Structure 1
Amino acid sequence: MATSDRHASTLALAHALSAAERGLAVIPLSRTKLPALRSPHHDDPDPAPCHGECGRLGHGVYDATTDPARIRKQFAAAPWATGYGIACGLPPHHLIGIDLDTKSGADSSATLRELALRHLFTIPDTVVVLTPSGGRHLWLSGPPDVVVPNSASRLAPGIDIRGAGGYLVGPGSRTEHGVYSTAPGTAHLAPAPCPRALLRLLTPPPRPRDTSGGHPGHAQSDGLIQFVLGARVGQRNTRLFWAACRAYESGIGDSIADRLTDAARRTGLSEREARTTIASAARLTAGHGPTST
């Protein structure tokens, strides 16, 4: 390995450990901004869905950790890593990344300001990471009971969202296009709480609950199924997880688990992977069901 690569890897590990001290779970990244460790299941003829339960490394964002020993172990297994990713949606910050892109040709910063004026919210002072292409990542913290899905230009052209199941490239990372850095005056800040009005824009609208006395939560369940069916490649697990969380929070999770599984299969997930994701949502939302009145 070239000396410059060793130096970049050493710096990336140092930055990753520093981020972990702030409660941010990290994974090593390659120069392409992808997870540096290959999946341990890539040669399996029919790989079962695994989010790290096997105990081996290489599960992408599911390997994200704040444990210094495990971080060092991951970087030791990937000495070519020159950056690190920060997992979104995890406690204690429940990080939400607002990615203001420049490649689309749209002025995404101006678009965000227009959204703020239209919906009456203010972007608070928070961590801002500058990308090599001239874009910016705004770090916000979300409430623990809200799952923000990943999205690309759904909020507005040129604005991507990194939420549950996604990650942000950490400042100090070196990629094929340059180095990510913290904007002056923001490195000391903690991720600021996401304004409620903005949070509503980042989460799909809740579906009305059925009060007709028919199938439990019929209107809401149909909406959740359609939400899953509308997933594109790269969104399937995230959409299924979000829909399953909403279903269990509303008390209809068990009754529509089979329908959610079928919808997920129609988008391309295997039945086993779909049921694993739904089970994860059920565990996450345990004790957070609808309040009795």
Structure 2
Amino acid sequence: MAITDRQTAALALAHALSAAERGLPVIPLTARKLPALPSPHRNDDRRPVCRGACGLPGHGVHDATTDPAAVRALFAAAPWATGYGIACGRPPHHLIGIDLDVDPTGGGDSAVSLRRLALHHLFTIPPTVTVLTPSGGRHLWLTGPPGVPVPNSAGRLAPGIDIRGTGGYLVGPGSVTRHGRYRLAPGTAGLPPAPCPRALLRLLTPPPRRRHGVEAPDSDPDRGQGLVRFVLAAREGGRNTRLFWAACRAYEHGYGDALADALTRAAVRTGLTEREARATIASAARLFRC
């Protein structure tokens, strides 16, 4: 291993130990932002579903720990690690990550979308830990209440806004990836993760599930035309994200099946194939059905 690589690995471990000291469970990551340790079951024919109960490392976010000795052991087993991940949804912080992506096509500003949501739903994002990503995006760290799991999602809240919740992880500040280094935003290093506003938490947690195949009794076929227009305005690079978000909103409000054909036609007009569009809509439907 080159000297620079050794220094990168040593810094990654140091940052991970510092995070663990603050009660944040960590795992080593590769430069591709993936868990550094391979699964111990990768050669098993039946690929058992194991979340670390076997006692061996290599179970991704399920390996995350705050124990310094265990952190050192994980990094010793993965000397190629260049960064670390922080498990979300775990005590004591029950971390929730708001990932504000940058649209390279200029089709939208996720930070502006978040401000619009905050204005519409009457909440404010308090000062909190903010991590700047190499692509120009940012991660906002919030804490959730115990016993309220927040699901991971991509574009469900709004286009370009991904959520890291229970079972997910955030790339920790100080990590080095193929595209650059993650770093703390100026003025936020000394802040604790702020509590998630209640109104935002309600948006992040899944609504009550409807029974399979049952639409709300007041479904109106003319509803959702704003969502159709939203999909029609999509640009290349953001078409699938916009379609998924619109479909989620339609199913959330109970008229997803009634709007599916119109959303499909709109997506096809933007350049997606009908097969791609229907697969994306089906993915959204699964989120809101038992």
3-state secondary structure, aligned to 1:85 = strand
Match in the other structure for 1:96: 96
Q: Deviations over 1:121-171 (max 9, x none)?
A: 000000000000000000000000211000000000000000000000000
Match in the other structure for 1:65: 65
Match in the other structure for 1:11: 11
Match in the other structure for 1:280: none
Gaps of 5+ in 1: 208-219, 227-266, 268-293
3-state secondary structure, aligned to 2:99 = strand
Gaps of 5+ in 2: 216-282, 284-290
Deviation (angstroms), 1:103: 3.2
Residue from 141, 144, 161 that aligns with 2:143: 141
Match in the other structure for 1:181: 183
After TM superposition, list the pairs within 5 Å mapping 1:104-183 onto structure 2: 105=106, 106-183=108-185
Letter in 2 for 1:169: V
Q: Deviations over 1:243-286 (max 9, x none)?
A: xxxxxxxxxxxxxxxxxxxxxxxx9xxxxxxxxxxxxxxxxxxx
3-state secondary structure, aligned to 1:97 = strand
3-state secondary structure, aligned to 2:114 = helix
1:81 and 2:99 matched:
no
Provide the C-alpha distance between the structure 2 equivalents of 1:119 and 1:65, rounded to a whole number of angstroms.
35
Provide the C-alpha distance between the structure 1 equivalents of 2:206 and 2:15, rounded to a whole number of angstroms.
34
Match in the other structure for 1:56: 56
Provide the C-alpha distance between the structure 2 equivalents of 1:74 and 1:186, rounded to a whole number of angstroms.
28
Match in the other structure for 1:243: none
After TM superposition, the runs of 4+ consecutive aligned structure 1 residues lying more than 3 A away are: none
Alpha-carbon RMSD: 1.8
Letter in 1 for 2:177: T
Match in the other structure for 1:271: none
Structure 2 contact 88–95 (Cα < 8 Å) conserved: yes
Deviation (angstroms), 1:205: 1.3
After TM superposition, list the pairs within 5 Å mapping 1:252-267 onto structure 2: none
Match in the other structure for 2:40: 40
Deviation (angstroms), 1:48: 1.1
Deviation (angstroms), 1:31: 0.2
1:193 and 2:188 matched:
no
Provide the C-alpha distance between the structure 2 equivalents of 1:92 and 1:141, rounded to a whole number of angstroms.
9
Match in the other structure for 2:230: none
Provide the C-alpha distance between the structure 2 equivalents of 1:42 and 1:153, rounded to a whole number of angstroms.
31
Letter in 2 for 1:203: T
Deviation (angstroms), 1:206: 2.5
Provide the C-alpha distance between the structure 1 equivalents of 2:207 and 2:123, rounded to a whole number of angstroms.
18
Structure 2 contact 153–163 (Cα < 8 Å) conserved: yes
Letter in 1 for 2:94: H
Match in the other structure for 2:207: 205
State the TM-score, normalizing by the size of structure 2.
0.72
Deviation (angstroms), 1:58: 0.3
